Amino acid sequence: MSLLLALAGVIGGLALLILGADRVIDAAAELAVYLGVSQFVIGVSIVAVGTSLPEMVTSIIGAAYGAGDLVVGNIIGSELAQITLAIGAVAAIAPIAARRRQTLIYGGAMLLAMVIMLLVLADGVITRGEAVLMLLAYAVFIRDLYGHTGGAEVVEATVESPQRPREALPTIAVGIVAVAVGGHLFVTGAGTLAAVLGLTEGSIGLIAGVATTVPEILVAGMAARGGETGISVGTLLGSNITDPVFSLGIGAVVRPVVIADPAVVQLQGAYLLGVSVLVIGLLYTQDAIGRRLGVLIAALYLPVVWLT
């Protein structure tokens, strides 16, 4: 029974995380448009950061419970899923023809964020001081990366219509509650599931990263369906900047994140970094990434089975 309850907690928690984050992003962005907030601010805060809400909540709750391996595993798993499965999914909707300059800027910052994450994890712990520096680094990324138009592009691709406060606020409140409850269920369920199955929390977090990356895939898919594949790539790579430094850092601010086996995490991170370099290289050198190449990129996720 404990196995079934734990599995139900993990699945139910992930579902609430995804649905709650989706509601919060949509309603908050539409409310901000109604209130006259600039599209730049909406794009780089509500949409860009909001799509990483499941990872952020998991990081905060996981850190509070002392589940450092689950927190880090979920971040790495989400990163890997976005750079492989998500790119493949977007390519299945429409060929990806990212601008070279955009690929260099977003891709370079993404790789830098991953390197920062691996460096702070090398000794097996992220202290509060390191976490604060990670958050400051993310603030610099936001300032330098998005410019004055990137945020507007993201908003145009995702916001359907403005919403009045009386319409948006209840949706935002329900979404936040769903995310909080979902995060709690996921973290506690994952801990129990790991104990029952004899797995590590890091392994469960790594695999569950596929689910927590759904909001990014949805936003990128919407942009690709509208013919804005450049925006969809920016959304995916941008989230891969947010998660290693901001999502992970915000959890370590609550409580230092400690991992049991830094060597395993470094192996997982090295594979993530290698795959990311390869995919960015393809985005830069290819005129477009179609379905066939998208399938090959998606297949790069499969070795995750051996990394757990």
The CATH code belonging to domain 2-307 is: 1.20.1420.30
pLDDT at residue 148 in the model: 44
Least confident stretch, 39-43, 236-240, 250-254: 39-43
Mean pLDDT, the chain, as a whole number? 81
Measured CA to CA, the distance from residue 191 to residue 127 in angstroms comes to 22
Tens digits of residue pLDDT in 94-114: 787 777 777 887 788 889 999
Q: What confidence score (pLDDT) does residue 94 get?
A: 78
Sign of CA pseudo-dihedral 233, 239, 240, 242: positive
Per domain, the residue ranges of the chain are: 2-307
- pTM comes to 0.82
pLDDT reported for residue 255: 93
